[in-house]
Structure 1
Amino acid sequence: MIERLLPAYVACADTYETDAPAGSLYPEEARLVATSVDRRKHEFAAVRACARRAMADLGVPAAPVMRGHRGMPLWPDGTVGSMTHCDGYRAAVLARASQVRAVGIDAEPNEPLPPGVWEVISGPSERARTPLGASGRTVHWDRLLFSAKESVFKTWFPLTRVELDFLEADITFRTSPGTGTEGTFTAELSLTAPDMPRSYEGRWLIDGGFAVTAIVLPVSPSA
Protein backbone atom coordinates (compact mmCIF):
# COMPACT_ATOMS: atom_id res chain seq x y z
CA MET A 1 0.00 0.00 0.00
CA ILE A 2 2.67 2.54 0.97
CA GLU A 3 4.31 2.27 -2.46
CA ARG A 4 1.26 3.99 -4.00
CA LEU A 5 2.33 7.24 -2.33
CA LEU A 6 6.02 7.24 -3.20
CA PRO A 7 8.21 7.56 -6.33
CA ALA A 8 9.88 4.50 -7.83
CA TYR A 9 13.32 5.45 -6.50
CA VAL A 10 12.09 4.99 -2.91
CA ALA A 11 12.18 1.33 -1.85
CA CYS A 12 9.05 0.31 0.04
CA ALA A 13 8.02 -2.72 2.09
CA ASP A 14 4.92 -3.29 4.18
CA THR A 15 2.97 -6.06 5.85
CA TYR A 16 -0.40 -6.65 7.44
CA GLU A 17 1.09 -9.41 9.60
CA THR A 18 1.52 -8.58 13.27
CA ASP A 19 4.57 -10.80 13.90
CA ALA A 20 8.00 -10.83 12.26
CA PRO A 21 9.80 -14.04 11.27
CA ALA A 22 11.50 -15.74 14.18
CA GLY A 23 15.04 -14.51 14.72
CA SER A 24 14.60 -11.52 12.45
CA LEU A 25 16.21 -9.05 14.87
CA TYR A 26 19.93 -8.42 15.19
CA PRO A 27 21.21 -8.92 18.76
CA GLU A 28 21.74 -5.18 19.25
CA GLU A 29 18.18 -4.51 18.09
CA ALA A 30 16.79 -7.19 20.38
CA ARG A 31 18.49 -5.52 23.34
CA LEU A 32 16.51 -2.32 22.66
CA VAL A 33 13.24 -4.10 23.44
CA ALA A 34 14.49 -6.77 25.84
CA THR A 35 12.28 -5.46 28.68
CA SER A 36 9.29 -4.51 26.52
CA VAL A 37 5.95 -6.29 26.49
CA ASP A 38 5.40 -8.90 23.77
CA ARG A 39 3.19 -6.63 21.66
CA ARG A 40 5.94 -4.01 21.48
CA LYS A 41 8.55 -6.65 20.64
CA HIS A 42 6.39 -7.96 17.81
CA GLU A 43 5.73 -4.58 16.19
CA PHE A 44 9.39 -3.60 16.63
CA ALA A 45 10.55 -6.78 14.87
CA ALA A 46 7.88 -6.68 12.16
CA VAL A 47 8.67 -3.14 11.05
CA ARG A 48 12.40 -3.95 10.98
CA ALA A 49 11.69 -6.97 8.85
CA CYS A 50 10.06 -4.51 6.44
CA ALA A 51 13.16 -2.31 6.67
CA ARG A 52 15.37 -5.25 5.71
CA ARG A 53 13.19 -5.93 2.65
CA ALA A 54 13.48 -2.27 1.64
CA MET A 55 17.26 -2.48 2.01
CA ALA A 56 17.33 -5.50 -0.27
CA ASP A 57 15.17 -3.77 -2.86
CA LEU A 58 17.51 -0.77 -2.81
CA GLY A 59 20.61 -2.97 -3.07
CA VAL A 60 21.82 -2.10 0.42
CA PRO A 61 23.29 -4.83 2.65
CA ALA A 62 21.05 -5.79 5.54
CA ALA A 63 21.92 -3.93 8.71
CA PRO A 64 20.47 -3.19 12.16
CA VAL A 65 18.13 -0.22 12.48
CA MET A 66 18.98 1.30 15.82
CA ARG A 67 17.30 4.22 17.60
CA GLY A 68 18.55 7.78 17.87
CA HIS A 69 17.15 10.79 19.70
CA ARG A 70 13.40 10.51 20.30
CA GLY A 71 13.42 7.04 18.80
CA MET A 72 14.50 8.24 15.37
CA PRO A 73 15.57 5.26 13.21
CA LEU A 74 19.28 5.22 12.35
CA TRP A 75 19.71 4.06 8.76
CA PRO A 76 22.78 2.68 6.93
CA ASP A 77 25.27 5.25 5.71
CA GLY A 78 24.22 6.85 2.45
CA THR A 79 20.51 6.21 2.94
CA VAL A 80 17.48 7.91 4.46
CA GLY A 81 14.28 6.23 5.51
CA SER A 82 11.16 6.13 7.61
CA MET A 83 9.06 3.52 9.41
CA THR A 84 5.52 3.34 10.73
CA HIS A 85 3.34 0.84 12.53
CA CYS A 86 -0.20 0.71 13.83
CA ASP A 87 -2.54 -2.14 14.70
CA GLY A 88 -2.61 -4.42 11.66
CA TYR A 89 -0.09 -2.61 9.46
CA ARG A 90 3.69 -2.01 9.40
CA ALA A 91 5.79 -0.30 6.71
CA ALA A 92 9.32 0.91 6.04
CA VAL A 93 10.78 2.93 3.17
CA LEU A 94 14.37 3.67 2.18
CA ALA A 95 16.08 5.89 -0.41
CA ARG A 96 19.56 6.93 -1.46
CA ALA A 97 20.75 10.08 0.30
CA SER A 98 22.07 11.24 -3.07
CA GLN A 99 18.45 11.51 -4.26
CA VAL A 100 16.41 12.21 -1.14
CA ARG A 101 17.16 14.46 1.84
CA ALA A 102 14.44 12.99 4.02
CA VAL A 103 11.26 10.93 3.82
CA GLY A 104 8.42 10.63 6.30
CA ILE A 105 5.60 8.09 6.34
CA ASP A 106 2.78 7.41 8.77
CA ALA A 107 -0.13 4.97 8.99
CA GLU A 108 -3.11 5.24 11.32
CA PRO A 109 -6.42 3.39 11.68
CA ASN A 110 -9.06 5.24 9.65
CA GLU A 111 -11.24 6.00 12.65
CA PRO A 112 -11.98 9.04 14.81
CA LEU A 113 -9.31 10.43 17.10
CA PRO A 114 -9.87 10.02 20.84
CA PRO A 115 -11.93 12.82 22.43
CA GLY A 116 -10.00 16.04 22.92
CA VAL A 117 -7.12 15.22 20.54
CA TRP A 118 -8.59 17.11 17.56
CA GLU A 119 -8.50 20.38 19.50
CA VAL A 120 -4.86 19.78 20.48
CA ILE A 121 -3.46 18.96 17.03
CA SER A 122 -5.39 21.41 14.84
CA GLY A 123 -5.19 25.18 14.47
CA PRO A 124 -8.14 27.51 13.77
CA SER A 125 -7.47 27.66 10.03
CA GLU A 126 -7.29 23.86 9.80
CA ARG A 127 -10.52 23.45 11.73
CA ALA A 128 -12.20 25.91 9.36
CA ARG A 129 -11.35 23.92 6.22
CA THR A 130 -10.98 20.32 7.44
CA PRO A 131 -14.22 18.37 8.06
CA LEU A 132 -14.46 16.87 11.52
CA GLY A 133 -15.33 13.20 11.50
CA ALA A 134 -15.92 11.00 8.48
CA SER A 135 -16.98 12.21 5.05
CA GLY A 136 -19.52 9.65 3.84
CA ARG A 137 -17.98 7.35 6.45
CA THR A 138 -14.96 7.06 4.15
CA VAL A 139 -12.33 9.53 5.34
CA HIS A 140 -11.89 10.40 9.00
CA TRP A 141 -10.27 13.77 8.38
CA ASP A 142 -9.24 14.32 11.98
CA ARG A 143 -7.19 11.11 11.94
CA LEU A 144 -5.78 11.94 8.49
CA LEU A 145 -4.65 15.33 9.80
CA PHE A 146 -2.85 13.61 12.67
CA SER A 147 -1.14 11.25 10.23
CA ALA A 148 -0.04 14.07 7.92
CA LYS A 149 1.52 15.94 10.83
CA GLU A 150 3.38 12.80 11.89
CA SER A 151 4.81 12.50 8.36
CA VAL A 152 5.89 16.15 8.52
CA PHE A 153 7.68 15.57 11.83
CA LYS A 154 9.44 12.45 10.51
CA THR A 155 10.68 14.46 7.52
CA TRP A 156 11.74 17.52 9.50
CA PHE A 157 13.30 16.10 12.67
CA PRO A 158 16.13 13.93 11.25
CA LEU A 159 17.53 16.99 9.44
CA THR A 160 17.08 19.58 12.17
CA ARG A 161 16.96 17.74 15.54
CA VAL A 162 14.44 20.45 16.45
CA GLU A 163 11.11 19.55 18.03
CA LEU A 164 8.06 20.45 15.95
CA ASP A 165 4.75 21.13 17.67
CA PHE A 166 1.49 20.04 16.05
CA LEU A 167 0.40 23.66 15.69
CA GLU A 168 3.61 24.64 13.88
CA ALA A 169 2.48 22.74 10.76
CA ASP A 170 -0.63 23.96 8.95
CA ILE A 171 -2.09 21.29 6.63
CA THR A 172 -4.26 21.76 3.55
CA PHE A 173 -5.73 18.64 1.96
CA ARG A 174 -6.69 18.16 -1.69
CA THR A 175 -8.65 15.19 -3.07
CA SER A 176 -7.71 13.63 -6.39
CA PRO A 177 -10.39 13.98 -9.11
CA GLY A 178 -12.72 11.03 -9.35
CA THR A 179 -11.91 9.61 -5.93
CA GLY A 180 -12.69 10.50 -2.37
CA THR A 181 -10.03 8.29 -0.84
CA GLU A 182 -6.70 9.70 -2.00
CA GLY A 183 -5.02 12.98 -2.79
CA THR A 184 -2.26 15.37 -1.85
CA PHE A 185 -1.57 17.82 0.95
CA THR A 186 0.60 20.82 1.67
CA ALA A 187 2.17 21.55 5.06
CA GLU A 188 3.18 25.15 5.78
CA LEU A 189 5.51 25.47 8.76
CA SER A 190 5.70 28.46 11.07
CA LEU A 191 9.06 27.22 12.40
CA THR A 192 12.26 27.86 10.46
CA ALA A 193 15.61 26.10 10.36
CA PRO A 194 18.72 26.64 8.21
CA ASP A 195 18.49 25.15 4.71
CA MET A 196 14.99 23.81 5.39
CA PRO A 197 11.90 24.69 3.33
CA ARG A 198 8.80 26.21 4.92
CA SER A 199 6.45 24.25 2.66
CA TYR A 200 6.20 20.46 2.23
CA GLU A 201 4.19 18.48 -0.32
CA GLY A 202 2.77 15.08 0.57
CA ARG A 203 0.30 12.44 -0.54
CA TRP A 204 -2.45 10.62 1.34
CA LEU A 205 -4.48 7.46 0.89
CA ILE A 206 -7.37 5.69 2.61
CA ASP A 207 -7.37 1.94 2.01
CA GLY A 208 -8.08 -1.24 3.92
CA GLY A 209 -9.20 0.60 7.03
CA PHE A 210 -6.01 2.69 7.23
CA ALA A 211 -5.10 6.33 6.67
CA VAL A 212 -1.60 6.57 5.19
CA THR A 213 0.49 9.67 4.44
CA ALA A 214 3.94 10.26 2.96
CA ILE A 215 6.34 13.11 2.23
CA VAL A 216 9.51 12.96 0.15
CA LEU A 217 11.99 15.86 0.40
CA PRO A 218 14.24 15.45 -2.65
CA VAL A 219 17.79 16.64 -2.99
CA SER A 220 17.65 19.92 -4.88
CA PRO A 221 19.36 20.02 -8.32
CA SER A 222 21.86 22.53 -6.97
CA ALA A 223 22.79 20.45 -3.93
Structure 2
Amino acid sequence: MSKTAQKALAEFICIAPVDLRLNPAVLTSGSFKLELFDDAFFSQAAIHLPDTISRASSKRKAEYFCGRYLAALALRHYGVEHFDVLADDKRCPQWPAGFVGSISHTDDFAACALAPSSELSALGIDCQAILSSAKAEKLWPKIIDRDEFNIIAASSFELNYGLSLCFSAKESIYKALYPFIRKFFGFSAAKLCAINPEQQYLEFDFSAELGKPIGIEHTLRAYYHIDSNRALSYVQLSPEQVCSQRS
Protein backbone atom coordinates (compact mmCIF):
# COMPACT_ATOMS: atom_id res chain seq x y z
CA MET A 1 0.00 0.00 0.00
CA SER A 2 1.38 3.42 -0.92
CA LYS A 3 2.02 6.05 1.74
CA THR A 4 -0.82 8.14 0.30
CA ALA A 5 -3.23 5.20 0.60
CA GLN A 6 -1.98 4.43 4.11
CA LYS A 7 -2.61 8.04 5.14
CA ALA A 8 -6.13 8.02 3.67
CA LEU A 9 -6.94 4.74 5.45
CA ALA A 10 -5.56 6.05 8.75
CA GLU A 11 -7.74 9.16 8.42
CA PHE A 12 -10.78 6.99 7.71
CA ILE A 13 -10.40 4.48 10.56
CA CYS A 14 -8.65 5.10 13.88
CA ILE A 15 -7.67 1.85 15.61
CA ALA A 16 -8.29 2.24 19.34
CA PRO A 17 -8.29 -0.42 22.10
CA VAL A 18 -11.27 -0.81 24.40
CA ASP A 19 -11.01 -1.91 28.03
CA LEU A 20 -12.98 -5.15 27.93
CA ARG A 21 -12.28 -8.48 29.66
CA LEU A 22 -11.52 -10.56 26.60
CA ASN A 23 -8.91 -13.07 27.77
CA PRO A 24 -8.14 -15.34 25.95
CA ALA A 25 -9.66 -13.62 22.91
CA VAL A 26 -8.10 -10.78 20.94
CA LEU A 27 -10.13 -7.61 20.39
CA THR A 28 -9.52 -5.17 17.56
CA SER A 29 -11.63 -2.04 17.42
CA GLY A 30 -11.75 1.45 16.03
CA SER A 31 -13.86 4.44 15.10
CA PHE A 32 -14.35 5.49 11.49
CA LYS A 33 -15.53 8.51 9.52
CA LEU A 34 -18.12 7.46 6.97
CA GLU A 35 -17.61 10.55 4.82
CA LEU A 36 -13.96 9.57 4.23
CA PHE A 37 -14.66 6.06 2.96
CA ASP A 38 -13.26 5.13 -0.44
CA ASP A 39 -14.11 1.95 -2.37
CA ALA A 40 -10.41 1.68 -3.18
CA PHE A 41 -9.70 0.70 0.43
CA PHE A 42 -10.82 -2.86 -0.35
CA SER A 43 -8.14 -3.48 -2.96
CA GLN A 44 -5.52 -1.41 -1.18
CA ALA A 45 -5.92 -3.36 2.08
CA ALA A 46 -6.46 -6.70 0.29
CA ILE A 47 -9.97 -7.09 1.76
CA HIS A 48 -12.30 -9.24 -0.34
CA LEU A 49 -15.33 -7.34 -1.66
CA PRO A 50 -18.29 -9.70 -2.26
CA ASP A 51 -20.59 -8.90 -5.16
CA THR A 52 -23.54 -8.32 -2.83
CA ILE A 53 -21.56 -5.71 -0.88
CA SER A 54 -20.19 -4.04 -4.02
CA ARG A 55 -23.77 -3.20 -5.00
CA ALA A 56 -24.67 -1.87 -1.56
CA SER A 57 -24.71 1.71 -0.32
CA SER A 58 -21.49 3.49 0.59
CA LYS A 59 -22.51 3.27 4.26
CA ARG A 60 -22.92 -0.51 4.08
CA LYS A 61 -19.62 -0.92 2.23
CA ALA A 62 -17.82 1.22 4.82
CA GLU A 63 -19.24 -0.81 7.73
CA TYR A 64 -18.41 -4.10 6.02
CA PHE A 65 -14.88 -2.95 5.20
CA CYS A 66 -14.21 -1.88 8.79
CA GLY A 67 -15.40 -5.19 10.21
CA ARG A 68 -13.28 -7.25 7.80
CA TYR A 69 -10.28 -4.95 8.17
CA LEU A 70 -10.39 -5.42 11.95
CA ALA A 71 -10.87 -9.17 11.42
CA ALA A 72 -7.72 -9.23 9.29
CA LEU A 73 -5.80 -7.48 12.09
CA ALA A 74 -7.10 -9.99 14.65
CA LEU A 75 -6.17 -12.95 12.43
CA ARG A 76 -2.72 -11.47 11.86
CA HIS A 77 -2.20 -11.58 15.63
CA TYR A 78 -2.35 -15.38 15.30
CA GLY A 79 -0.18 -15.47 12.21
CA VAL A 80 -3.04 -15.92 9.73
CA GLU A 81 -2.60 -13.79 6.61
CA HIS A 82 -4.77 -13.23 3.53
CA PHE A 83 -7.85 -15.10 4.74
CA ASP A 84 -11.17 -13.88 3.31
CA VAL A 85 -13.79 -13.83 6.08
CA LEU A 86 -16.89 -14.59 4.03
CA ALA A 87 -20.44 -14.85 5.37
CA ASP A 88 -23.03 -17.62 5.22
CA ASP A 89 -26.64 -17.14 4.14
CA LYS A 90 -27.46 -15.77 7.61
CA ARG A 91 -24.64 -13.18 7.35
CA CYS A 92 -22.59 -15.03 9.98
CA PRO A 93 -18.83 -14.59 9.41
CA GLN A 94 -17.01 -17.80 8.47
CA TRP A 95 -13.67 -18.07 10.26
CA PRO A 96 -10.65 -20.23 9.47
CA ALA A 97 -10.64 -23.75 10.91
CA GLY A 98 -9.49 -23.59 14.51
CA PHE A 99 -10.94 -20.15 15.31
CA VAL A 100 -14.15 -18.59 16.58
CA GLY A 101 -14.92 -14.92 16.14
CA SER A 102 -17.51 -12.17 16.05
CA ILE A 103 -17.86 -8.77 14.37
CA SER A 104 -20.07 -5.79 15.21
CA HIS A 105 -20.41 -2.15 14.22
CA THR A 106 -22.40 1.02 14.73
CA ASP A 107 -22.52 3.96 12.31
CA ASP A 108 -19.03 5.10 13.36
CA PHE A 109 -17.42 2.27 15.34
CA ALA A 110 -16.53 -1.37 14.67
CA ALA A 111 -15.04 -4.24 16.64
CA CYS A 112 -13.90 -7.81 16.10
CA ALA A 113 -13.19 -10.51 18.69
CA LEU A 114 -11.26 -13.67 17.81
CA ALA A 115 -9.95 -16.69 19.71
CA PRO A 116 -8.63 -20.21 19.02
CA SER A 117 -11.46 -22.76 19.22
CA SER A 118 -9.25 -24.86 21.49
CA GLU A 119 -9.71 -22.14 24.13
CA LEU A 120 -13.23 -20.90 23.37
CA SER A 121 -16.15 -22.71 21.78
CA ALA A 122 -18.36 -19.66 21.41
CA LEU A 123 -18.08 -15.91 21.51
CA GLY A 124 -20.16 -12.94 20.56
CA ILE A 125 -19.46 -9.23 20.54
CA ASP A 126 -21.87 -6.38 19.96
CA CYS A 127 -21.72 -2.59 20.01
CA GLN A 128 -24.70 -0.26 20.14
CA ALA A 129 -25.01 3.50 20.03
CA ILE A 130 -26.61 4.82 23.21
CA LEU A 131 -30.35 5.25 22.74
CA SER A 132 -31.93 8.61 23.42
CA SER A 133 -34.14 8.81 26.50
CA ALA A 134 -37.23 9.16 24.30
CA LYS A 135 -36.37 6.05 22.25
CA ALA A 136 -35.61 4.06 25.39
CA GLU A 137 -39.01 4.88 26.87
CA LYS A 138 -40.69 3.76 23.64
CA LEU A 139 -38.62 0.64 22.95
CA TRP A 140 -38.00 -0.98 26.33
CA PRO A 141 -41.12 -3.25 26.30
CA LYS A 142 -39.85 -4.80 23.04
CA ILE A 143 -36.41 -5.60 24.51
CA ILE A 144 -36.93 -6.34 28.21
CA ASP A 145 -39.79 -7.29 30.52
CA ARG A 146 -40.92 -5.55 33.71
CA ASP A 147 -38.57 -7.59 35.94
CA GLU A 148 -35.59 -6.60 33.79
CA PHE A 149 -36.80 -3.00 33.75
CA ASN A 150 -36.84 -3.03 37.56
CA ILE A 151 -33.27 -4.36 37.72
CA ILE A 152 -32.08 -1.51 35.51
CA ALA A 153 -34.13 1.00 37.51
CA ALA A 154 -32.50 -0.20 40.73
CA SER A 155 -29.01 0.16 39.23
CA SER A 156 -26.92 3.27 38.71
CA PHE A 157 -27.85 3.32 35.00
CA GLU A 158 -30.40 5.68 33.53
CA LEU A 159 -32.91 3.75 31.43
CA ASN A 160 -31.43 4.71 28.05
CA TYR A 161 -27.94 3.56 29.09
CA GLY A 162 -29.14 0.42 30.82
CA LEU A 163 -31.40 -0.53 27.93
CA SER A 164 -28.67 0.09 25.33
CA LEU A 165 -26.35 -2.14 27.34
CA CYS A 166 -28.97 -4.87 27.79
CA PHE A 167 -29.81 -4.76 24.08
CA SER A 168 -26.13 -5.13 23.22
CA ALA A 169 -25.64 -8.01 25.67
CA LYS A 170 -28.61 -9.93 24.29
CA GLU A 171 -27.22 -9.47 20.79
CA SER A 172 -23.84 -10.80 21.98
CA ILE A 173 -25.56 -13.86 23.45
CA TYR A 174 -27.36 -14.43 20.16
CA LYS A 175 -24.14 -14.19 18.16
CA ALA A 176 -22.33 -16.56 20.52
CA LEU A 177 -25.03 -19.23 20.61
CA TYR A 178 -26.66 -19.07 17.18
CA PRO A 179 -23.96 -21.27 15.55
CA PHE A 180 -25.01 -24.05 17.96
CA ILE A 181 -28.77 -23.50 18.09
CA ARG A 182 -29.06 -22.64 14.37
CA LYS A 183 -32.45 -21.01 14.68
CA PHE A 184 -33.71 -17.55 15.53
CA PHE A 185 -34.42 -16.77 19.17
CA GLY A 186 -35.68 -13.46 20.47
CA PHE A 187 -34.81 -11.12 23.32
CA SER A 188 -36.95 -13.09 25.77
CA ALA A 189 -34.61 -16.12 25.52
CA ALA A 190 -32.06 -14.31 27.70
CA LYS A 191 -33.45 -12.60 30.80
CA LEU A 192 -31.41 -10.09 32.77
CA CYS A 193 -31.08 -11.21 36.40
CA ALA A 194 -28.19 -9.10 37.75
CA ILE A 195 -25.88 -6.17 37.02
CA ASN A 196 -22.39 -6.10 38.51
CA PRO A 197 -20.92 -2.61 37.93
CA GLU A 198 -17.74 -3.36 39.90
CA GLN A 199 -16.71 -6.23 37.62
CA GLN A 200 -18.63 -4.78 34.66
CA TYR A 201 -20.85 -7.64 33.66
CA LEU A 202 -24.54 -8.39 33.19
CA GLU A 203 -25.89 -11.79 34.14
CA PHE A 204 -28.69 -13.52 32.24
CA ASP A 205 -30.84 -16.58 32.72
CA PHE A 206 -30.95 -18.35 29.37
CA SER A 207 -33.90 -20.36 28.05
CA ALA A 208 -33.66 -23.95 29.32
CA GLU A 209 -35.46 -25.21 26.23
CA LEU A 210 -32.81 -23.71 23.96
CA GLY A 211 -29.83 -24.13 26.25
CA LYS A 212 -29.96 -27.70 27.55
CA PRO A 213 -29.48 -29.42 24.16
CA ILE A 214 -26.10 -27.68 23.82
CA GLY A 215 -25.12 -27.99 27.48
CA ILE A 216 -26.08 -24.50 28.70
CA GLU A 217 -27.59 -25.05 32.12
CA HIS A 218 -26.31 -21.96 33.89
CA THR A 219 -26.50 -18.20 33.76
CA LEU A 220 -24.55 -16.35 31.10
CA ARG A 221 -22.32 -13.37 31.75
CA ALA A 222 -21.86 -10.55 29.29
CA TYR A 223 -18.93 -8.28 30.13
CA TYR A 224 -19.28 -4.70 29.03
CA HIS A 225 -17.69 -1.33 28.39
CA ILE A 226 -19.93 1.72 28.21
CA ASP A 227 -19.37 5.42 27.67
CA SER A 228 -21.42 8.41 26.58
CA ASN A 229 -21.43 7.26 22.94
CA ARG A 230 -21.84 3.48 22.91
CA ALA A 231 -22.27 0.23 24.76
CA LEU A 232 -19.98 -2.69 23.92
CA SER A 233 -20.61 -6.18 25.26
CA TYR A 234 -18.89 -9.54 25.00
CA VAL A 235 -19.89 -13.15 25.74
CA GLN A 236 -17.49 -16.08 25.73
CA LEU A 237 -17.95 -19.77 26.50
CA SER A 238 -15.21 -22.33 27.02
CA PRO A 239 -15.32 -25.81 25.44
CA GLU A 240 -16.41 -27.16 28.85
CA GLN A 241 -19.40 -24.81 28.87
CA VAL A 242 -20.75 -25.80 25.47
CA CYS A 243 -21.35 -29.44 24.62
CA SER A 244 -23.03 -29.33 21.21
CA GLN A 245 -25.25 -32.24 20.29
CA ARG A 246 -25.10 -31.46 16.58
CA SER A 247 -24.16 -34.36 14.33
| TM-score category (smaller protein) | 0.7 to 0.9
Q: Do the aligned partners of residues 222 and 168 (structure 1) sit closer, same or farther apart at CA in structure 2, a change above 3 Å counting?
A: closer
TM-score, structure 1 normalization? 0.85
Query: In terms of Rg, which structure is larger?
Result: 2
- Identity rate, percent: 22
Q: Is the 8 A contact 1:13 1:91 kept in 2?
A: yes
Give the helix-richer structure, 1 or 2: 2
Q: Is the 8 A contact 1:131 1:142 kept in 2?
A: no
2:32 alignment partner in structure 1 = 17
* 2:210 alignment partner in structure 1: 192
Counterpart AA for 1:116:
K
Q: Judge which range, 185-194 or 209-218, deviates more.
A: 185-194
- How big is the alpha-carbon RMSD for the aligned residues of Structure 1 and Structure 2? 2.7
Q: How many residues are matched?
A: 217
SS in 2 for 1:108: strand
Q: Which residue of 1 aligns with 2:20?
A: 5
- Counterpart amino acid of 1:87? D
2: CA distance, partners of 1:87 / 1:70: 21
The SS at the match of 1:100 is coil
Is 1:60 aligned to 2:80, yes or no?
yes
Q: Which amino acid aligns with 1:158?
A: P
1:79-94 correspondence to structure 2 within 5 Å: 79-94=99-114
Give the letter for the 2:150 counterpart.
A
Alpha-carbon shift at residue 6 of structure 1 (Å): 3.2
Please name the residue that 2:66 is paired with.
46
Counterpart Cα distance in 1 of 2:18 and 2:194? 20
The structural deviation recorded for 1:202 is 1.6
User: Which residue does 2:7 correspond to in 1?
Assistant: none
Change in 2 beyond 3 A, CA 1:70/1:195 = same
Q: Using the alignment, how far apart are the partners of 1:222 and 1:122 within structure 2?
A: 25
Spell out, residue by residue over 1:88-141, the C-alpha distance to the aligned partner (whole angstroms, 9 max, x if none).
210111110111011111111123346632111112321222229x9469x711
For structure 1, which segment, 76-85 or 167-176, has the greater mean C-alpha deviation from structure 2 after superposition? 167-176
Stretches of structure 1 that go unaligned for 5 or more consecutive residues are: none
Match of 1:169 in 2: 190
Cα deviation for residue 214 of structure 1 reads 0.5
When you count strand as a share of all residues, which structure comes out higher? 1
Q: Which consecutive unaligned segments of at least 5 residues does structure 2 have?
A: 1-15
Partner residue, 2:5: none
* Contact 1:25–1:45 (Cα < 8 Å) also in 2: no
Q: Is the 8 A contact 2:101 2:124 kept in 1?
A: yes
Q: Which residue of 2 aligns with 1:128?
A: 150
Deviations along 1:21-45, one digit per CA (max 9) or x if unpaired, are: 4423544x33230211111001101
Counterpart check, 1:151 vs 2:172: yes
